[in-house]
Amino acid sequence: NAGVTQTPKFQVLKTGQSMTLQCAQDMNHEYMSWYRQDPGMGLRLIHYSVGAGITDQGEVPNGYNVSRSTTEDFPLRLLSAAPSQTSVYFCASSLQGAYIQYFGAGTRLSVL
């Protein structure tokens, strides 16, 4: 199993551009989440999903959209990138109701 796969690993955007961060898992996990990690801030939850077609907001959802059309994929869309969205983004998945989360390797995003 590949686990949780995130693409791209690195991305540089200009302010106002849009893009989609991809996340895919092959463990048949129902739950998937997106976090951002900023220096000295730990991880903060952006959006999460408890199954296909079901998503909800986390702690810092503004400026991001998600959808979950399949169990495997959970893309994160930046609608109009801002410098404040410069961060490292992590996708995670877990079994339904399980607290242990499995993380991807992350996408390092810079917005200029």
Catalog residues that contact other proteins under the rule CB under 8 A: 4, 31, 33, 35, 40-45, 48, 50, 56, 58-59, 90, 92, 94, 97-106
Question: In whole angstroms, how close is the CB of 15 to other proteins at the nearest point?
Answer: 26
DSSP code of 20?
E
Q: Do the beta carbons of residue 22 and residue 34 sit within 8 Å?
A: no
Question: In whole angstroms, how close is the CB of 5 to other proteins at the nearest point?
Answer: 11
Q: Is the CB of 58 or the CB of 75 nearer to other proteins?
A: 58
Could you check whether the bond before residue 83 is cis, i.e. omega within 30 degrees of 0?
no
Tell me the three state secondary structure of residue 83.
Answer: helix
Q: Is the CB of 16 or the CB of 51 nearer to other proteins?
A: 51
Tell me the three state secondary structure of residue 84.
Answer: helix
Q: Is the CB of 6 or the CB of 85 nearer to other proteins?
A: 6
Question: In whole angstroms, how close is the CB of 22 to other proteins at the nearest point?
Answer: 15
Question: In whole angstroms, how close is the CB of 16 to other proteins at the nearest point?
Answer: 28
DSSP code of 85?
G
Whole-angstrom distance, CA of residue 87 vs CA of residue 110: 7
